[in-house]
Chains A and B, each alone.
Chain A
Amino acid sequence: MFYLFRLFYSFLPLHNPIGFGAADFVEISLALVLAGGALAWSKWSAAANRLASKTVVCMALLGALPVALRLAMLHTSPIPTPLGADDFSYLLLGDTLSHFRLTNPTHPMHRFFETFFILQEPSYSSIYPLGPGLALAFGQLAFRQPWAGIAISTAAFTSLSYWMLRAWTKPGWALLGGLLAVIQFGPFSHWMNTYWGGALAAAAGCLVFGAMPRLRDHWRTRDAALLGLGLAIHLLTRPFESMLLAVSVILFFAPFFRKRRELLRAAATAALVVLPALGLMLLHDKQVTGSWTTLPYALCRYQYGVPSTFTFQENPVPHNQLTREQQISYDVQSFVHGPGTDTISSFLERLAGRLRFYRFFFLPALYLALPAFFWSLRDPRMRYVFFTMLIFFVGTNVYGYFYAHYVAGVTCLFLLATVVSLEYLSRLKIASHLVGPDAVRVILFLCGAHFLFWFGVQLASNQEFARDLEQYQTWDEVNHGDLDGRLGVNRQLARYPGKQLVFVRYWPKHTLTEWVYNSADIDRQSVVFARDLGVSDNEKLLAYYPDRTAWLLEPDARPPKLSPYQRLEAQPPQTSPKEPKPASTPAKRPKLKFEEVK
């Protein structure tokens, strides 16, 4: 008996104790959420409306919610393991900053530590701007966990998205927008489950777009300072897109050019807040590259030929000797950039291809509401929102790659467009019947159902069915298991006492998955990862680290193979620089990621 209660025993209806197949479970979950939502709505919508006007409470709630939800998933989806080159580069930046410095001295054996998106000379540094690193450093210093910085950024964003929306719409809709932010950019989001950032730029966007309408209405210094703060954070996070943001800010205030005095005062206040960020940025440039005006990013492009240039520029030419993996990376990035410079046709083709990536910002059910946004364009404020989104859409298209965090600054505008669409839809009447609210509730319940369904799946992700279902979870990205086998290797190394030195040897078919990543202070690490440069060269590093146990790691074995390093063994160098090769296909990414479209 009680077999009846083993509900998930099987998804074959005839084997399932209540005759349910997978689709039935999905349907009943959906019905539960829809009916539950309707019941809750009828009972608590008035209370929710009252709550919506309590700014501080709502901000606290919306800030706490994504963190609490993500922490609730920790048993199945632990703190994310860094995977991609960007992850490691940002972590290096965070680690550097947590040592209270902007860069690190070049390592005497830096040839062994060549990797992606990290400069070895003139200093050992990440190529990325400071912003995301600051968040990670804060997490590291305050919680001994860089990811805490990501979680806090997300909390700040969801909380500020409500604050931003309060300046544009009614409290109820603002709260709704905040909840949508939690659903879309919270516990399942790529932004909360990697170290790439996104949430911080989005939080900056909230400050900017939330402060502007307030400033226009009241011309308060506080709002000007918040505008400046938003711009400053965005500048430190996404310098290029900050230009687009600045244009948007100018466009917003352009109609008020007659209020010269108020404008100047606000601009001065904002500038005062932006200036330290600008100074920090210049100092960072100077420390990392040796030049006040050369971004580490630009120096990396000069040295390694990556990241690729804008599409109106020619492909960069590397000036350093590249490792085989760096060469592949360069080839891939050059391929994505394409030969020569952009034409109108290729520009437009790329633009159309990028529409797909905006799914990241809208759940499927919301696509049904979005057409209603066009009704709102009669409102000049909404026209401004539309043009700002367009500026970012077109502006980021001059770069060959696209990742959702490039347009993170306008995430709150996407949320605004969503709630405005829903608001307009809610006014819809058919044959003198007010039918809009019904439709809006259905859409919202479906969004809630979407979130709760996947949240339930995540909570049960140790179950077989949950693993089967994950393939259908699009655009979310939660870390599961040990995709590259890094955790396994780290666990293996942790079992040994003393300090370790790991030579990483790639097999001939190895492509882009890099394993040589180290922290800001290489020599003091318990485990140092180094490239295998062949017996004679390796001896130099072994001599440099006489007290470390040497290991050989072959990450291309399945699972990655870690064995004691044989010092006397004759080994040909595996990672010597090679001649540039024609563009090759990029390595298959482990899970859904943002890929470039040509």
Chain B
Amino acid sequence: MLASLLGTFDPVKNPIGFGASDFIEFALAVLLVALALSWRPLIEPFGRRFSVQTRWCMLGLAVLAIALRLALLSHHPVPSPDIYDEFGHLFVADTLRHFRFANPPHTLPQFFETFFILQSPTYSSIYPIGQGVMLAIGRAVSGYPWAGVLLSTSAFAALCYWMLRAWTTPAWAFAGGVLAVVEFGPLNQWMNSYWGGSLAAVAGCLVFGALPRLTKQHRTRDALALGAGLAIHLLVRPYESIFLMIGVLLYLIPFAKTVMRAMPVVVLAILPAIGITLFQNKSITSFWTTLPYQLSQYQYGVPASLTFQPNPVPHRVLTPQQQLEYKAQLAFREGERDTLKAFLLRLEYRVRFYRFFFLAPLFLAIPAFCFVALREFHYAWVLLTLLIFALGINFFPAFQLHYLGAVTCLFILVSIAGLQQIGRWSPEAARLILFLCLAHFAFWYGMHLFEDEDIAPAMIQYETWDSINHRNPERRIFVNQKLADLPGQLLVFVRYSPRHIFQDEWVYNDASIDSARIIWARDLGPEENNKLLTLFPNRELLLLEPDIRPLPQLTPYAP
């Protein structure tokens, strides 16, 4: 009977009288006591010795992030893209894989209209190339674009430690690196989707890690790192690069005389990125200074404009789904013009999203950090930079966590410096908060590792802000599997029902449509469809009705 300890969580039936909360308490006690017991003899001395070995630490953290995620593969396979932003970035990668920035427009683009992809003057994604480059590298290295996401995350974990080394002691920097793995590693949305986030965070690490080094040591390599960070960020998040730049300038102003010599190196490092951005603009939009994103706003009215700008007006005929997306994006804004009140309300509303950057116990470190920031200039600057980002991105009506990707390392710095301050008051208190973060991670990681158990699905509803693909989009996998079983080249007409959920888009194609084995096309009616049939006379024709439940219906298409 005692063997069936987890047989029931009803205390009066459980062999040792434990209910669910008792098991959680006990598990927590085990973890915390194990950490407490091993802290002095093992963790602390090892951590102190290891944390000064920069390269080994960086390598260790980078490997840790990947290894932990790969260990979950049996329950959480390589993520399948599901949201149109993901398809947009994958499309960039596919385009880059063909060694070009844009693809020629298709002769029948009306069949391939989808979200966030331009059809003319070129067939291109609207996104900047940064995330796409990583996905392309991932695909080139392993056959999976997701490998690029893994590499970004591991680079972020490693560079976060490197960045923190410039701000704090090696031991605390290492703790910060571990926090980066715990918070932004295997269970995190950034590592389990194709939207990005980690790459902007990598750029941020380079920038914020280089700044203190540059002002102290004036080394060319630090200037280069700063420039590289700014360059990468420009290629990933052009708009937020403005705030990053403001942050950098604010930091450097007091050191203007001493760092001036390094500026040419910084500029030299940024120039190629600017060049690439301009060239991409030219390739896609035909104009050096028109971003694909802007052209999409002009053509499709999406993405929404900044809140101080007028609402965009589409200049193309939109599909019903695009029309709904346009309306949805308009709805992000409360009115035509932003008011101070609306701006502040939005700012207040977005406070909730910052939970993503701090595990719940780390919220205790924030007040301690503010206490330190009142006394030390460089920490006050950190707060100011975070404020600039918060205010800056508040001009965009929608919010995604990766908008703040660049300052992720500053959030970790806030946690670490806050803990360090708590540690000055009571080392044990700081240690316990850190232990709780590790226990938090170990608990949820364990839940995902043993997800077959009945207990895990019941618990996972309480897991907040993590976003690991529990089950990949079943319906897409089902359809892809069916298509994979069919030989030869296929042309799939996608027919939506009148009650179709507009975001659930299925028409996503490769960069080179004509040579793709599977072509996805909108069903525009028999007469219009015939044009496509003429263009692809040798393809097997299929009709996909994705709105049929429980699983989409795939049938031969009869012209």
Contacts and interface: CB of A to CB of B under 8 A. Distances in A.
Interface of A: 1, 3-4, 13-14, 16-25, 27-28, 30-32, 34-36, 38-39, 41-42, 352-353, 355-360, 363-365, 367-368, 428, 430-435, 438-439, 441-443, 445-446, 450, 472-475, 592-595, 597
A28 B361 contact: yes
Contacts of B436: 27, 30-31, 34
Nearest to B348: A4
Interface in B396-442: 422, 425-426, 428-433, 435-436, 440
A364 B18 contact: yes
Interface stretch (B175-183, B262-270, B283-291, B462-470): B462-470
Nearest to A366: B29
B33 A20 contact: no
A592 B12 contact: yes
Given A31-B361, A356-B12, A445 B432 contact: yes
B17 A475 contact: yes
Interface stretch (B315-323, B326-334, B350-358): B350-358
B22 interface: yes
A48 to B, nearest CB: 15
A105 B55 CA distance: 90
Contact of A472 (B20, B351, B360): B20
Contacts of B512: none
**5 nearest A-B pairs in the assembled complex, by CB-CB distance:** A19-B355, A359-B17, A356-B17, A19-B352, A21-B464
A22 B25 contact: no
A370 to B, nearest CB: 11
A365 B12 contact: no
Contacts of A27: 359-361, 436, 440
Contact of A13 (B1, B21, B39, B464): B464
Contact of B352 (A18, A41, A357): A18
Nearest to A349: B1
Contacts of B428: 38, 41-42, 438, 441
Contacts of B354: 18-19
Nearest to A589: B12
B364 A28 contact: yes
Contacts of A22: 462
Contacts of A365: 25-26, 28-29
B25 A356 contact: no
A78 B364 CA distance: 34
Interface string B320-349: 000000000000000000000000110011
A38 B181 CA distance: 26
A20 B425 contact: no
Contacts of A25: 360
B12 A430 contact: no
- Most chain B CB inside 10 Å of its own CB: which residue of A31, A367, A438, A441: A31
B104 interface: no
A355 B14 CA distance: 10
13 contacts: A13-B464, A17-B348, A20-B355, A27-B360, A27-B436, A42-B426, A359-B18, A364-B25, A367-B26, A368-B30, A428-B37, A475-B17, A592-B11
Contacts of B355: 13, 18-20, 24
- Most chain A CB inside 10 Å of its own CB: which residue of B16, B42, B430: B16
A433 B25 contact: no
A17 B26 CA distance: 31
Contact of B11 (A21, A428, A474): A474
Contacts of A353: 1, 15
Contacts of B17: 355-360, 474-475
Interface in B41-65: 41-42
A367 B22 CA distance: 10
Given A28-B361, A356-B14, A363 B351 contact: no
A372 to B, nearest CB: 11
Nearest to B350: A19
B380 interface: no
B432 A442 contact: yes
B17 to A, nearest CB: 3
Contact of A363 (B25, B344, B348, B426): B25
B361 A19 contact: no
A472 B9 CA distance: 10
Contacts of B32: 442, 446
Given A19-B354, A20-B360, A24-B360, A435 B21 contact: no
Given A27-B359, A433-B41, A356 B29 contact: no
A143 to B, nearest CB: 33
A42 B36 CA distance: 16
B41 A593 contact: no
B364 A32 contact: yes
A472 B24 CA distance: 11
B344 A1 contact: yes
A586 to B, nearest CB: 12
A449 B356 CA distance: 25
Given A18-B352, A435-B37, A31 B433 contact: yes
Contact of A19 (B30, B432, B465): B465
A17 B352 contact: yes
B2 interface: yes
Given A39-B429, A433-B40, A439-B36, A13 B352 contact: yes
B348 A1 contact: yes
B38 interface: yes
A474 B28 CA distance: 17
A18 to B, nearest CB: 6
Nearest to B464: A21
Contacts of A473: 21
